[in-house]
Chains A and B, each alone.
Chain A
């Protein structure tokens, strides 16, 4: 994975830079010992590692501002980091960059039930935002699978989704305001508990900007009352096409489940072996979950079951209680772990129009044979966000490269059928070089000129999102 050459003049000035950071921050907030900076050498894309110049852990917005101001003056690239769970290399540093970790900014600032908002520091974990309002019967909806660990800061940077986003939207639909520090140290407040922008939607472009426009230290988020209940139903089909049609029919019937999950044969077999949840060993499996009162759940499920029956499922399984519900989810929730136990794998998150599902699955099957690597498909069928899991052996030389080549073909296929490269993980470094498959140079230029406004010197996470050749002149000018 190509990364920019570190700036030797910064490497030469390391001691001086560390000293300056130490004078601006508490003693334990600057990490510079090589034995300790290794902890920041990669994120969830563990195949690629590079220890940073140093790492800082500010605890306040003012400390974040002091760090950025300093780095701005010295021309040092800064890589913001939430919990480091990115699967796209979003928090991967270069040797000349400072990792700015926001994990110590984890407080709840204000909970506002009448207006249904919560304001938190951005280093707080996603699940603990719900944790702060749960006993009062509320929750924060976007629920990425890593929610136990991932930080709101990262959720905002990547515009994270999760299984529930079919009904409740992704981060950008639930984000009302931020406090953000610009690269030159200026602190700005954008939005708040009110419901729209008074001018340009700056919040909308900041969300999903992968830490390249500013460092968010506080966020105002929408909270919702928990629904009265939820129940899943499991359906097995003997073909991917039929499963896809069933999804389409459910949506056309006006039912809006909170989640529709799909697993293909390979995933079902691996998960069943691992979790023994009692899944039918068929071609395709759907788990559909609905929410509401008992009566509403009953009404929605009866419509869903009626639709499913018209497609002759090989299995149709309901949950009569919370225990049975958990069993239905068990296999799906263990999917990544189950796959990881038998193999190294690469997880993609290309997204396609739901109607293209059968074609894309067929093509992935063909590509899988062509490249000689198995691919399991598990994904959020309601919104077409696929997660092809390419199985490979990291210990066999060349397999990582083959895996990446196959991955690139699959993602290009997603774009070809009218979808996109990434539905929720972000571009990071992982999909940088595929950006031209989806966007023209003019399209990318329009995006880069937004960064030109927020961070004219291109110091914030500069090596991400845009192909290095395309961003080269801007990064070099810094």
Chain B
């Protein structure tokens, strides 16, 4: 395992590599077509390099544990608003998720539906490309249209365009208080209708999920105390056609949303896990065609976690609708047989492959992971 201590060392290691490299942050998000290669770890590129609460900006090396960043932000009553999922609940891996990994996989949580995904909070990147060149893009300001936005391109590129060494993020204030409305016993269609109704209201909903395991459809409100009280009341009325909402707050509320964020309901050894992204109103059609053993809907129905029998290819079961399915948990054999990422239409596949070969001409960075 290669463990560079600085960006320069990492660049040198990539430059002089003569075989495939398998990039590792915390090693907790091990999905994708299995990569054969020598592990190159970012764990020693760790530490917050700049934090300005009054400017809502934090800059950290890519190997910094997400927990370290969240703890530092909490001291100033701030947070990563995109609330990145912790994959350990469903993938069961040891290790500490790093911010670089969260960004490289564009990992977000329930609040994505309101404030945006990881990629929407990423202000700047430094990375080492497949030739060992050190590249930067963006910066540390929110408004930046200077040249092409490679920041967005790096988010969700799973290391195939370059190894992140430093990221700049926009942070947000933590909210004074929060509450969750819980509706009971709705089926998938009713749940999506309820969530749509909530999200389409002026009451600023920051989470909308459906958890069949508990029979709950849940809607989150956050903000200042009086504001939350007001919006809770208004939303209860607004959603009355779907039933009488139970209201919770405090620790029970926090735990509920953490479990939604981490798809906790799908943890457990058996079965494969798929992650489907569709427009919310298509959510029920996905559920009805796949009939998963267990599922969880987030993003108002636009994000569906499903548990299926091992080796199931859900793509062949889902109707021809816009969106994509990603295989998150399966045996190595299944992961070699079924593409992790939704195959792209030909013209887009050509573009994606060409981009990868520009940034990584020798094909040494997580080769094949996204194929």
A159-B145 contact in complex given A200-B352, A201-B152, A228-B202, C-beta closer than 8 Å: yes
Q: Is B216 an interface residue (CB 8 A)?
A: no
- Complex contacts, B175 vs chain A, CB 8 Å: 254
Which of B77, B141, B278 is the one whose CB lies under 8 Å from A352? B141
- Determine if B54 and A354 form an interchain contact, defined as CB atoms under 8 angstroms apart: yes
Q: Is B281 an interface residue (CB 8 A)?
A: yes
Q: How large is the interface on B (under 10, 10 to 19, 20 to 34, 35 or more residues)?
A: 35 or more
Q: Is A306 an interface residue (CB 8 A)?
A: no
- Complex contacts, B135 vs chain A, CB 8 Å: 442-443, 446
Which of A194, A256, A292, A446 is the one whose CB lies under 8 Å from B323? A194
- Determine if B196 and A204 form an interchain contact, defined as CB atoms under 8 angstroms apart: no
Q: Tell me the nearest residue of chain A to B357, going by C-beta.
A: A453
Which of A199, A201, A228, A299 is the one whose CB lies under 8 Å from B224? A299
- Determine if A446 and B150 form an interchain contact, defined as CB atoms under 8 angstroms apart: yes
A207-B344 contact in complex given A296-B227, A383-B142, C-beta closer than 8 Å: no
- Determine if B196 and A115 form an interchain contact, defined as CB atoms under 8 angstroms apart: yes
Binds A, one of B110-118, B179-187, B266-274: B110-118
Contacts between the two chains (Cβ within 8 Å), count = 267
- Determine if B143 and A196 form an interchain contact, defined as CB atoms under 8 angstroms apart: no
Q: How far is the CA of A186 from the CA of B348 in the complex (A)?
A: 11
- Complex contacts, A124 vs chain B, CB 8 Å: none
Q: Encode contact with B along A245-287: 1 for CB under 8 Å, 0 otherwise.
A: 0011101111110000000000000000000000000000000
- Determine if B156 and A201 form an interchain contact, defined as CB atoms under 8 angstroms apart: yes
Q: How far is the CA of A363 from the CA of B126 in the complex (A)?
A: 29
- The minimal Cβ–Cβ distance linking A471 to chain B, given in whole angstroms, is 12
Q: Is A348 an interface residue (CB 8 A)?
A: no
Per the 8 Å Cβ criterion, residues 39-87 of B in contact with A are 52-57, 76-77
Q: How far is the CA of A180 from the CA of B327 in the complex (A)?
A: 28
- Determine if A293 and B54 form an interchain contact, defined as CB atoms under 8 angstroms apart: no
Q: How far is the CA of A263 from the CA of B17 in the complex (A)?
A: 54
Q: Is A197 an interface residue (CB 8 A)?
A: yes
Q: How far is the CA of A203 from the CA of B148 in the complex (A)?
A: 12
- Complex contacts, A426 vs chain B, CB 8 Å: 145
**Number of residues from A at the complex interface, CB < 8 A:** 96
- The minimal Cβ–Cβ distance linking A136 to chain B, given in whole angstroms, is 10
Q: Encode contact with B along A137-170: 1 for CB under 8 Å, 0 otherwise.
A: 1000000000000000000001101000110011
- The minimal Cβ–Cβ distance linking B98 to chain A, given in whole angstroms, is 20
- Determine if A199 and B342 form an interchain contact, defined as CB atoms under 8 angstroms apart: yes
- Determine if A194 and B279 form an interchain contact, defined as CB atoms under 8 angstroms apart: yes
- The minimal Cβ–Cβ distance linking B24 to chain A, given in whole angstroms, is 21
Q: Encode contact with B along A408-443: 1 for CB under 8 Å, 0 otherwise.
A: 000000000011111111110001000100111011
- The minimal Cβ–Cβ distance linking B33 to chain A, given in whole angstroms, is 12
- The minimal Cβ–Cβ distance linking A359 to chain B, given in whole angstroms, is 13
Q: Is B370 an interface residue (CB 8 A)?
A: yes
- Determine if A295 and B227 form an interchain contact, defined as CB atoms under 8 angstroms apart: yes
Q: How far is the CA of A57 from the CA of B223 in the complex (A)?
A: 48
Q: Encode contact with A along B217-240: 1 for CB under 8 Å, 0 otherwise.
A: 000000110110011001000000
- The minimal Cβ–Cβ distance linking A419 to chain B, given in whole angstroms, is 5
- Determine if A195 and B143 form an interchain contact, defined as CB atoms under 8 angstroms apart: no
Q: Is B200 an interface residue (CB 8 A)?
A: yes
Q: Is B206 an interface residue (CB 8 A)?
A: no
Per the 8 Å Cβ criterion, residues 380-402 of A in contact with B are 380, 383-385
Instruction: Return 11 A-B CB contacts under 8 Å, by A number.
Output: A165-B143, A196-B108, A200-B161, A201-B155, A204-B151, A208-B148, A251-B173, A254-B175, A295-B226, A354-B52, A447-B150
Q: Give the interface of A toward B (CB within 8 A).
A: 112-117, 137, 158-159, 161, 165-166, 169-170, 172-173, 182, 186, 188-190, 192-205, 207-209, 225-228, 247-249, 251-256, 292-293, 295-296, 299-300, 303, 351-355, 380, 383-385, 418-427, 431, 435, 438-440, 442-447, 449-454, 465-466
